[in-house]
Structure 1
Amino acid sequence: MTLSDHDKELIVKVWKKISPKAAQIGGDALARLVVVFPQTKIYFSHFADLSPSSPQIKAHGAKVLGAIGEAVRGIDNVSVSLSKLSELHAYNLRVDPVNFKLLAHTLLVSLSATLGAEFTPEIHLAWDKFLAVIAAVLSEKYR
């Protein structure tokens, strides 16, 4: 999927707005992931608590949004920006690539919940495309 210049502008604009809340949004998205898609809990079996209020879930969610921030900063070459993360998930963590799409879905829900009416259909589409790019990049090493 290719991002247009307008998509990139919208993504960067929204990122500037949400980056101060990135840890909160990431924690919310990851909590939603393990609740709505319980099969993903297998990747977090080393966490003592998988509840939505878990400090470990919130901390890992913050890491996830940190990686999204890296992708935003390298939006013209997301593949390079997330190369090491792709290798980690493919070779060490062995995360099933379908889970990147599931996380993208919960991130969209969390963004919508955070931004409310500001999360217009146009912004939703841009972020959906961007998260699809990220999911594809994170799946690259599996091929």
Structure 2
Amino acid sequence: MLTADDKKLISQIWTKVAEHGKEFGGEALERMFITYPQTKTYFPHFDLHVGSEQVRSHGEKVVNALSNAVKNLDNLSQALAELSNLHAYNLRVDPVNFKLLSQCFQVVLAVHLGKEYTPEVHSAYDKFLSAVASVLAEKYR
């Protein structure tokens, strides 16, 4: 899973990401809605236009949840248990959407971090976001 080097890279880069939570999270959601329009079905009450305050605010929530995961890299299941329950039992979000959002989030990281988003950082974040998606999908099994 995540190596010590992966965890170090994730934590180092996350300090830069967390400063732009609303921007990065909102952009990741916008990318997901445009690239995978079927994901919009979970947000019928949102204004889904680019730059929407509702999308940006929800993006900030996503980044805040990921911040919690970064702080708890050694125990993601416990750190994300409440969120996993919410998505599985109340919202009934298709777990495939977690992977789709992860892909979009990585694109946002690459765009905004530029040269800092090295292949090693990309690999670490791919593992991390895959682990988060897996934990969020646990309750579906």
Q: TM-score, normalised by structure 2?
A: 0.98
The equivalent of 1:11 in structure 2 is 10
What letter matches 1:90 in structure 2? A
Deviations 1:29-79 (A, max 9, x none): 0111101100000001111x1012111000000000000000001111011
**Equivalent in 81, 84, 87 of residue 85 of structure 2:** 87
Moved >2 Å (runs of 4+):
none
Once the two structures are TM-superposed, the CA of residue 119 in structure 1 deviates from its matched residue by 0.4
Give the equivalent residue in structure 1 for 2:36. Answer: 37
Deviation at 1:16, TM superposition (A): 1.2
Kindly tell me the number of residue pairs found equivalent between the two proteins.
141
Q: 2:18 and 2:65 mapped to 1: Cα distance? A: 12
* Aligned-partner SS, 2:75: helix
Superposed CA offset, 1:3-43 (max 9, x none): 11110000000001221112110011011110110000000
Aligned equivalents of 1:96, 1:20: Cα separation in 2: 29
Matched residue type, 1:103: L
Structure 1 residue aligned with 2:54: 56
Separation in 1, partners of 2:16, 2:109: 11
Aligned mates of 1:133, 1:52 — CA distance in 2: 28
Q: 1 CA distance for matches of 2:66 and 2:112?
A: 16
Aligned residue type for 1:41:
K
Q: Partner residue of 1:26?
A: 25
Structure 1: which amino acid aligns with 2:83? Answer: L
Cα RMSD (Å) of the superposition? 0.6
